[in-house]
Amino acid sequence: MSAATTAAPRVAERVRRIKPSPSSAAADRAAALRREGRSIVSLVVGEPDFDTPANIRRAAAAAMDRGATRYTTLAGTPELRRAIAAKLARENALDYGPDDIIVTNGCKSAIYSAFEATLEPGDEVVIPTPCWVSYPDMALACGAKPVMVACPEAQGFKLAPARLAAAITPRTRWLVVNSPSNPTGATYTQAEWRALAEVLRGHPQVLVMTDDIYEHIRFAGDGPAPHLLTAAPELRDRTLAINGVSKTYAMTGWRIGWAAGPRDLVEALGTLLSQASGNACSVSQAAAVEALEGDQGFVAESVATYRARRDRMVARINAIPGLACTPPEGAFYLYVNCAGLLGRLTPDGRRLATDDDVVMHLLESAGVALVPGAAYGLSPYFRLSIATSTANLDEGADRIARAVAALR
């Protein structure tokens, strides 16, 4: 027997138990088909198709010109943390000081680091489902058990208080809530936050993570986005509010996120990140200050564009027999119910048994790239991103309609 067959695996078990991001895998598959010469309409990536606003780009250039290209304070520059604190007060009525905030390399880093800093083997993380694909695998990577709580379309894809109460055990360490949600766009009201908070009051060991990255991309209601901590300020000492500039300001590649919360959690993140990654990019931090403090006209304009795209694509999808889509309340995705296609046959005789089958059929036969609902924990659906041009969306809808019409 060779040494290769008897040696222990070189990759740690905690890494072997997780899987690559399904949305990244779908994007990679679409790119591979394009390289083969196929015409592909990709409706996969959750990334604004707009350029970063010019005033933000100018602020980055000015930072480079004045030499702001060195290490910053680990938790982020004082200027950026003050800007974040002011934003939280102005837009969310939340009172945080700069020392209650840490800047990270995107929101994903903040979420993973919070898990890494707090989870012990066997702890549980309650995750309302459908959910962003990375939450459960992050929990697994940190030795915890993701507890997936189904939130069906009939309840607006939102966590019901009774289901939350049933999911909590003595091992529950975190509840993760994302509003507006990826992939469904579901958005909690103040009353719904209060109802969830009532359950949480009885379980003081449970920490709460609010992923607020889509807070500005909302299609109903005026004024500040509803937030758990304005509905239930008594939960502040165990809530970590995660946010960043990626989605609101079309700054995905700048990699700036943050966490605001109890001082001990923020300091723990700082300790961990001091060994794991160091500070976020200095130039990106200067750009983020301008994003938060500068002209906010881009935000309203981009949301109006997303709203128009949503309305157009919901109508297009709902006109296709076998597909159905409830208009999302926020974010820039449609979560399309494809139950009406299951059991049907493709032109070459393959039966569509799952949403994975549907998505693969639409990719291979029509050249439309989507992400199956199984990736988000609730089937049979697929996610369709509207963060692309109207022309691209129309072409995608046309191709989907033709592919569905060809089914038997």
d(CA 356, CA 371): 8
- The residue that leads in pLDDT, 23 or 235, is 235
Torsion of CA 46, 30, 359, 107, to 10 degrees: -20
Residue pLDDT, tens place only, 26-42: 778 788 888 888 899 99
Residue pLDDT, tens place only, 322-369: 999 999 999 999 999 999 999 999 999 999 999 999 999 999 999 999
Residue pLDDT, tens place only, 87-98: 999 999 999 999
d(CA 208, CA 236): 9
Residue pLDDT, tens place only, 75-86: 999 999 999 999
Burial string for 74-86 (b: 16+ CB within 10 Å, else e) reads bbbbebbbbbbbe
Q: Spell out the domains of the chain, with CATH numbers in brackets.
A: 9-50+298-405 (3.90.1150.10), 54-293 (3.40.640.10)
> Measured in whole angstroms, how far is the alpha carbon of residue 167 from the centre of its chain?
22
| Window from 4-8, 17-21, 50-54, 360-364 with minimum mean pLDDT | 4-8
Mean pLDDT of the chain: 95
d(CA 151, CA 142): 24
Tell me which H or E stretch contains 406. Answer: none
Query: Residue 336: what residue type?
Result: V
Residue 8 scores a pLDDT above 60: yes
Confidence of residue 5 (pLDDT cuts 50, 70, 90): low
Residue pLDDT, tens place only, 248-284: 999 999 999 999 999 999 999 999 999 999 999 999 9
For the chain, the farthest-separated pair of C-alpha atoms sits apart, in whole angstroms, at: 69
Residue pLDDT, tens place only, 291-329: 999 999 999 999 999 999 999 999 999 999 999 999 999
- SS3 of 353, please? coil
Let me know: does 222 contact 253? Beta carbons within 8 Å. Answer: no
pTM of the model: 0.94
